[in-house]
């Protein structure tokens, strides 16, 4: 799942971003951190900071965000498992905003390679499924996709891979970019549904199937064929009780993905015929 290239360029070229001191990040400083330009700060020979690096801080922050959510992330919470003070982290990372940017790029490095894909369709399938897998492992990622995050090496490589898969199929550059944004939007919506379902399960103590078993008999008493004929037909077909169907978490993701790809294929064929 990728952020917006358009937003990225808007931040860097408009000059609206300044230093983190007024709540915004410094693009030049953040990009240097993302791409690990320059040398790591000199580490002491002894003490808890001896093994401290940007990579280790970022990985620890990801662990915290995975467990507690991005809203709970703070420099203090990252410092605790590292055995250092929060102030020690600022030697390596300017602030929380820059840290989150590095976290996003780090997890995007988990995306599968598209190089061995057999054609554009298989490549986009791998991209979408990989993005969904990342969102499941790191539920804090989807809300960041539409935010103005700067691109690090992993996100840059991912953009290059997915756009490369669409190169030569006959779509103009604007439509190539639109295809990626379309997939991102679909994955983000599906990921949010999945995250909501996980939240409901934790809050209620019931899985979706357990909740369905409790509520279905009560709903059946109120759904009559004369008043809700279409819903009754689908309900009585038993589809909501079948694994991989119905309304449960992640159900229907593959169906929706294939229909999107069908539409893209029609567009490509139409361009070729024209």
- Dump pLDDT digits (tens) for 212-264: 889 989 988 998 999 999 999 998 888 777 655 455 555 689 999 999 999 99
* Percentage with pLDDT > 90 across the chain: 65
| Per-residue confidence (pLDDT) for residue 37, from 0 to 100 | 85
| Per-residue confidence (pLDDT) for residue 19, from 0 to 100 | 39
- Dump pLDDT digits (tens) for 30-41: 999 999 986 566
Q: Give the other-Cβ count within 10 Å of 242's Cβ.
A: 11
| Per-residue confidence (pLDDT) for residue 75, from 0 to 100 | 97
Residue 61 has pLDDT above 80, yes or no: yes
Residue 141 has pLDDT above 60, yes or no: yes
| Per-residue confidence (pLDDT) for residue 23, from 0 to 100 | 53
String of DSSP letters for 35-81: TT-SPPPPPPSSSGGGG--HHHHHHHHHHHHHHH-GGG--HHHHHHH
Please report the domains of the chain, with CATH numbers, ordered by start residue: 5-108 (1.10.10.60), 120-273 (1.10.357.10)
Taking each continuous run of H as one helix and of E as one strand, the counts in the chain are: 12, 0
* pLDDT tier at 3, thresholds 50, 70, 90: low
| Per-residue confidence (pLDDT) for residue 120, from 0 to 100 | 98
* pLDDT mean across residues, the chain: 86
Nearest to 135 by CA among 264, 249, 211, 55: 249
Tell the residue number behind the tokens 């989807």, with chain if given: 142
Return left, alpha or beta for 47; rule: phi > 0 is left, psi -120 to 50 is alpha, else beta: left
Better-scored residue on pLDDT, 210 or 162: 162
| Per-residue confidence (pLDDT) for residue 97, from 0 to 100 | 94
| Per-residue confidence (pLDDT) for residue 34, from 0 to 100 | 96
Contacts by residues 79-87 (CB-CB < 8 Å, ≥ 24 positions apart): 82/48, 82/52, 82/56, 82/57, 83/48, 84/48, 84/49, 84/52
Residue 48 has pLDDT above 90, yes or no: no
Residue 6 has pLDDT above 50, yes or no: no
Query: Could you tell me the pTM of the whole model?
Result: 0.84
- Dump pLDDT digits (tens) for 145-168: 767 789 999 999 999 999 999 999
């Amino acid at each position: 799942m990728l952020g917006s290239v358009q937003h990225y360029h808007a931040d860097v070229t408009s000059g609206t971003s300044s230093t983190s001191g007024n709540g915004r990040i410094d693009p030049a400083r953040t990009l240097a951190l993302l791409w690990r330009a320059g040398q790591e700060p000199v580490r002491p020979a002894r003490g808890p900071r001896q093994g401290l690096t940007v990579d280790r801080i970022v990985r620890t922050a990801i662990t915290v965000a995975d467990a507690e959510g991005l809203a709970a992330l703070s420099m203090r919470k990252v410092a605790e498992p590292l055995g250092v003070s929060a102030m020690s982290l600022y030697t390596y990372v300017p602030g929380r905003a820059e840290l989150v940017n590095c976290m996003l790029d780090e997890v995007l490095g988990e995306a599968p390679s598209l190089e061995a894909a057999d054609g554009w369709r298989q490549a986009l399938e791998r991209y979408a499924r990989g993005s969904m897998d990342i969102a499941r492992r790191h539920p804090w990622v989807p809300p960041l996709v539409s935010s103005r995050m700067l691109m690090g090496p992993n996100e840059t490589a991912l953009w290059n891979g997915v756009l490369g898969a669409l190169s030569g199929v006959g779509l103009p550059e604007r439509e190539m970019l639109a295809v990626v944004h379309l997939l991102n939007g679909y994955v983000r919506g599906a990921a949010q549904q999945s995250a909501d379902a996980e939240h409901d399960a934790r809050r209620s103590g019931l899985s979706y199937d357990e909740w369905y078993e409790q509520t279905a008999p009560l709903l059946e008493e109120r759904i009559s064929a004369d008043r809700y004929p279409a819903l009754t037909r689908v309900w009585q077909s038993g589809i909501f009780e079948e694994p991989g169907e119905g309304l449960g978490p992640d159900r229907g993701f593959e169906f929706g993905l294939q229909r999107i790809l069908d539409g893209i294929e029609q567009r490509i064929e139409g361009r070729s015929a024209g």
